[in-house]
Amino acid sequence: MTELYKITGKLLELQNLDAGDDANLKQAVVDTLDAIEGEFQEKAVSVAHFIRNLEPDIKAVDTEIKRLQARKQALENRREQVIDYLRENMERTGIKRIGCPLFSIAYVQGRETAVIEEASALPDEYVDVKTEVKPNKASITKALKAGVEIPGARLERVKSAIRIN
C-alpha cells in the first residue's frame, strides 16, 4: 500500500491540474481523483487503526509509571524511617560521628527556623508582598475576535486536531 504522504502528493497534483476544455481529460481527472481519494480514505483508516492500537500500550506504560512511582515513594519513605531511626539513636547516645572505610556518618543538630502560626498577625516589615502581572488570554482572544486591535497581541490558529471516535 502506498504511503499517505505520496497519496496526498498525487491528490494535490490532480487538484491543481488544468484540464482545459478537453471533456475527456476532465472526466479522466475526476475519475482518477475519486480513485485516489478512496485510496486516501483507506490509508487514513489504516493509520487510525494504528493510532488506536497504540492507546493500550500508552495506558499500560502509564499504569507501570504509577506503580513504579508508588514503589519509589515507598522506598523513599522507608529510607526516611531508617534515617530517623539512626538519627534518634545517635541523638540519644550523644554519638556525633561514626567513620568507616566507605563513608562517614555525622549527627548534625537542626537549625532554628521560624514557625508561622498566623500569617495575618505578622507586622508588615516581616511580610513580602508579591504582585503578579499576567495577560488575561481569554479576554484578549475575545477582543481580538471582535476586531479590537491590541498592541502586543495577535490571533493565531493552533494546530488542527484529529479525533478518532
Residue 87 forms part of a structural domain: yes
Residue 44 forms part of a structural domain: yes
Which cell numbers hold the place of 90?
Answer: 545517635
d(CA 90, CA 97): 9
**What is the model's pLDDT at position 12?**
84
Residue 91 forms part of a structural domain: yes
Residue 27 forms part of a structural domain: yes
Residues 6+ apart with CB under 8 A from 145: 155
Q: Averaged in consecutive runs of 10 residues, what is the pLDDT profile of the chain (165 residues)?
A: 83 78 77 84 91 96 98 97 95 93 91 92 92 94 95 91 74
Residue 48 forms part of a structural domain: yes
- DSSP bridge partners of 104: 99
Residue 151 forms part of a structural domain: no
Residues 6+ apart with CB under 8 A from 127: 119
Residue 49 forms part of a structural domain: yes
What's the domain count of the chain? Answer: 1
**What is the model's pLDDT at position 22?**
75
pTM over 0.95: no
Residues 6+ apart with CB under 8 A from 39: 2, 7
Q: Which domain holds residue 17?
A: 4-109
Residue 152 forms part of a structural domain: no
